[in-house]
Structure 1
């Protein structure tokens, strides 16, 4: 059984800093980290690193960044046969300012030119499809191509392409930002009625399963009709880049391994918590052994 991830690949340039940035000032940069990025790519990298057969459907340019991304993916064991290299366009890339004092990051994303062309799907026995919403037609096509597979949407922001995919998936795993943008309401964990109202509105999009991630406040999910709150695991945040991507990758892995929803969420939360303690997105993805060991330590 395999995992197929559909969506964005990007090359990340992470610049760490400490303190506030002021306009019209010059800052001397001494350190930087370059690594893979993009929600679908990071999720695919994690699944392959953790031993799951994984294929990535995405687009890159036929340039230096594209070649570097391909090398990164192949070294992790991701099937890149369906990674489309577009001639004459730039590979999507991001410049990320990461505040090492509090882990916050500011992202300048260069998405590259989108060309609509014919993509093909892997000839695999697929058990899980993960879409980040960036390639909606391909994501919906994958759900139709593999009707027995479970499908997950990484809903980071409430944009048109994300909403195009949302009604078709089995699991909407969305951020607090998405929930606020979609419902127009801010989450307050001290108001159970409001939390239930917001959660129900998100769940009504696909009428199946939903999870709302809340960063350092944990997450909300439903089990046996009861809305539950899972607190976040403690972490000293240095860089939150890719934390959501890593959460979704671990979620897809857990579905592929037929874990219970509670265990999937604990695994995903721990992987995400570990990742924020170091710089970068793809470069901060923890091993499965480390993630499971940290989980056992936390639950003693």
Structure 2
């Protein structure tokens, strides 16, 4: 079984289904509600576990009821939470999320600004069986430490660049970087993702990509290449990018080439988009394999 060590944010999400996004300061009625775990690394770790991989999650939580629920939900999906640090007197991360009839979402999140940044408590080496590391940008010091562990162990270190990296060394330390369109724009200064990717990737020693949702994935292999997204009926895009990153990291841990890993990850993310409720829609391995077999 391939394993991935994940590091980053885990939250508790309150996901409301609405017909349209609110535009005025008045009362609105939700058509549905899902209370599920969330967060970039939290979602990715669950996606990895459901896809048949071993997964460890290093995250910072408060010693509160919300943190208890976050950890319990992760463990229920088979995620190893021994590296979840609990801090007394603070509040664990939470989000309120609106998902409209088109599947698009609006996110209001809160992370306690007093959460310690110190990463000295992280392990000095990766657990046995880890074949890749995945880190998000929410905790710069922790992400840098995790990616350095990947380098020392000689395994892929994937950076989920959904926001502009807070630490200048993060991008260079990762072996694989998958930016969001917004983060790539902020890093490159280019509005066009093709131009932005080419600007960032030229001269870089690592593998660089940008995820574009329905427009697929652009990645650099001496030139900009495109992997199209799968066409599905979208119900809820919440967590789809996180599922993509988890599946991509797992595929690398399984020693698949990048182009194949992109296709595998895009299938997992597409299936998730057909289901309401954030990461509760993350698929199992047999679902992804069946999905891909029908789209050769």
Once the two structures are superposed, the pairs formed by residues 51-200 of structure 1 within 5 Å of their partners are: 51-99=52-100, 101-112=101-112, 113-117=114-118, 118-121=120-123, 122-146=126-150, 147=152, 148-161=154-167, 163-187=168-192, 195=194, 197-200=195-198
Give the distance between the partners of 1:271 and 1:150, measured in 2 at CA: 20
Q: 1:274 aligns with which of 264, 271, 274?
A: 271
| CA 1:74–1:58: 2 relative to 1, 3 Å | same
TM-score normalized with structure 1 length:
0.90
Structure 2: gaps of 5 or more residues: none
Please tell me whether the aligned partners of residues 3 and 126 of structure 1 are also in contact (alpha carbons under 8 angstroms).
Answer: yes
Q: Contact between 2:248 and 2:262, CA under 8 Å: does it hold in 1?
A: yes
Cα deviations by residue, 1:85-135 (Å, 9 ceiling, x for unpaired): 111111101000111x21111100001231134423254343211010222
Any stretches of 5+ residues in structure 1 without a counterpart? 189-194
**1:218-246 alpha-carbon deviations (Å, 9 max, x no partner):** 111133x2421111101222211111100
- Structure 1 pair 259–226 and aligned structure 2 pair: CA distance change class (3 A): same
For 1:250 and 1:185, the matched residues in 2 are separated by: 28
Deviations 1:31-86 (A, max 9, x none): 21011101111111111222222111101111222111111111221111111111
In structure 2, the partner of 1:297 is 294
Secondary structure of the 2:286 match is helix
Separation of aligned partners in 2, 1:231 and 1:184? 24
Which secondary structure state, in structure 1, belongs to the residue aligned with residue 226 of structure 2? strand
Cα–Cα, structure 1 residues 205 and 132, in superposed 2: closer, same or farther, change >3 Å?
Answer: farther
**Who is 2:44 aligned against?**
43
Tell me which residue corresponds to 2:240.
243
Instruction: Give 2:284's match in structure 1, choosing from 262, 266, 287.
Output: 287
1:220 correspondence with 2:209 = no
Contact 1:168 1:206 in 2 (8 A): no
Task: Classify 1:8/1:20 alpha carbon distance in 2 versus 1 (closer, same or farther; 3 Å).
Answer: closer
**Segment of structure 1 superposing worse, 76-85 or 131-140:** 131-140
TM-superposed deviation, 1:160? 2.2
* Contact 1:11 1:35 (C-alpha < 8 Å) held by counterparts: yes
Which stretch of the first structure deviates more once superposed, 243-252 or 104-113?
104-113
The alpha-carbon deviation at position 183 of structure 1 amounts to: 2.1
Root mean square deviation of aligned Cα: 1.8
Separation (CA, whole Å) in 1 of partners of 2:72 and 2:202 = 40
Indicate conservation of the 8 Å contact 1:136/1:164, yes or no.
no
After superposing the two structures, state which structure 1 stretch, 20-29 or 271-280, moved more. 20-29
C-alpha contact 1:166 1:205 (8 A) present in aligned 2: no
2:60·2:86 contact (CA, 8 Å) conserved in 1?
yes
- 8 Å contact kept, 1:276–1:284: yes
Deviation, structure 1 residue 30: 5.0
The alignment covers a number of residue pairs equal to 289
